[in-house]
Structure 1
Amino acid sequence: MGEGPVRVAVVNDYEIVVVGIAGVLAPYAERVAVVELDSGLPVATEVDLVLYDSFGQPQGEALDVRSILGSSGARLVVFSWNTQPELVEQSMRAGASGYVSKGVSGAELVAALERVHAGETVTPQAEADSDGAFGHWPGDAEGLSPREAEVLALLCQGLSNQEIGERAFLGLNTVKSYLRTLYRKIDADSRTRAVLWGIDHGFRPDRVRHRVERDRPEH
């Protein structure tokens, strides 16, 4: 491992998600330096690792590692609430070098990133899926849980209930349960009203790159 901190780009289609992760990693800057935050764009900076937050994103067999990494030459680490063994295995076959549960603490995430950078293959221990509160996500200020928010994000992308289940690795009945609870929380009585609420509350995917060292966003 070379000298200095591990250089990391954080990737997700929602700016609030990548900024939230960067905030959690900020106290560990001597070990992990977040140098780029990307929403809807491939990585452009030369970095060691790309931390791919799976919120509302393709996962498993649908993971397009080459498109995410761009020309960075980095290793990709998936960061997800979903830790089903089948999903983890699919992601690793697609080209990920590591897979980390969102049930970890900031210190545990840093340690996992360092291990991947050192050449280890890191995957979650057998555990229940996490619905913890790592960082931020669209709708958290309005009381939506991470899973409810992800289901709404996929709904706002125009996916059917079946497609939401396939993307988020949830059963159809579980998707319907999340929809019922989030509808109550946002006072929506239809799919259309839920989508309109989502568009007004940060559920439209972003397209922005922040290179942290220069602190100048590119649109």
Structure 2
Amino acid sequence: MPIRVALVNDDEIVLRGLDAMLRNHGERVQVVEIAASKPVATAVDIALYDTFAVGQGNSHGVAKLIANPYVSKVVVYTSNFQPWLARETMATGVRGYLSKSLSAAQLVEALQMVHAGQKVLSPAPGRRGQVGGDWPGREEGLTPREAEVLSLITMGLSNLEIADRTSLSVNSIKSYIRSCYRKIDVDSRSKAVLWGMAHGLRPDRVRIQGSPAQAQAEASGRPRP
């Protein structure tokens, strides 16, 4: 039987990208719910928490997932591999701390290990960037981190609040903001907010049952692997 998985984040684009990344592994992992700013309401083996713009693995959102009776195990999917944060996250009861540099096959293998009862801390990504998935602003050339920072700006957070949310330094946040502004051709925070609102960088509130990516593949007649 495939592992029943819920995908959790505040951004539907992010979750649909992660769902699409997993679509060719339906025999091992079944996405049964996509929860954007909604609590998981379906019994699942694993809730996969994507940290894009919602706080890191030690956040209140993760604590709520751990306490959710519908969720058997919680796995954090992140690009932030500061050693102290990884340790703190795993100490909360999270069963896996997985890098966004993992391929789809590697991610599925790690989820299977967690389901089998192991605690999994994947290797730090080093210089390798995010392999799969999607994020708002990708088509404009924004990196996942730039898009995350811009999303938090759109939510009205200050540089200090963004640094706290992402566990990065304020200077790093300022650097990401400058590169964002160049790529989206704006010269002020207010213009950046308007751009973000127009390009899907606000939290969504939606719960989707099942896997849209797998359903689309089946509807198109493509055989499952």
Instruction: Say whether the fold is shared (TM-score over 0.5).
Output: yes
Matches for 1:1-12 after TM superposition, within 5 Å: 4-12=1-9
Q: Deviations over 1:111-159 (max 9, x none)?
A: 0000000000001224526532421001111111101000011111221
Measured at CA, do residues 30 and 55 of structure 1 come closer, stay the same or move farther in structure 2, by a change above 3 Å? same
Please, what is the CA RMSD of the aligned residues?
1.7
Deviations 1:153-194 (A, max 9, x none): 111122111111121121211111110010011111111110
Moved over 4 A (4+): none
Matches of residues 154-193 of structure 1 in structure 2 within 5 Å? Answer: 154-193=152-191
TM-score by length of structure 1 reads 0.91
Cα distance in 2, alignment partners of residues 95 and 55 from structure 1: 20
Relative to structure 1, is the Cα distance of residues 142 and 133 closer, same or farther in structure 2, using a 3 angstrom cutoff?
Answer: farther
Q: Percentage identity across aligned positions?
A: 49
1:41 aligned residue: 38
CA change 1:95–1:129 in 2 (3 A) is: farther
Stretches of structure 2 lacking an aligned partner (at least 5 in a row) = 216-225
Q: Would you say the 8 A contact 1:58–1:167 is kept in 2?
A: yes
Q: Which amino acid aligns with 1:183?
A: Y
TM-score for the superposition, normalised by structure 2: 0.89
Q: In 2, are the aligned partners of 1:63 and 1:91 still within 8 Å (CA)?
A: no
Count of aligned positions: 212
CA distance, structure 1, for counterparts of residue 189 and residue 86 of structure 2:
31
Q: Is it true that 1:150 corresponds to 2:148 in the alignment? A: yes
Q: Distance in 2 between matches of 1:147 and 1:85?
A: 19
Which of residues 56, 61, 67 is equivalent to 1:59?
56
- Kindly indicate whether structure 1 or structure 2 has the higher relative contact order, using CA contacts under 8 Å at least 6 residues apart: 2
Distance (whole Å) between structure 1 residues aligned to residue 48 and residue 20 of structure 2: 14
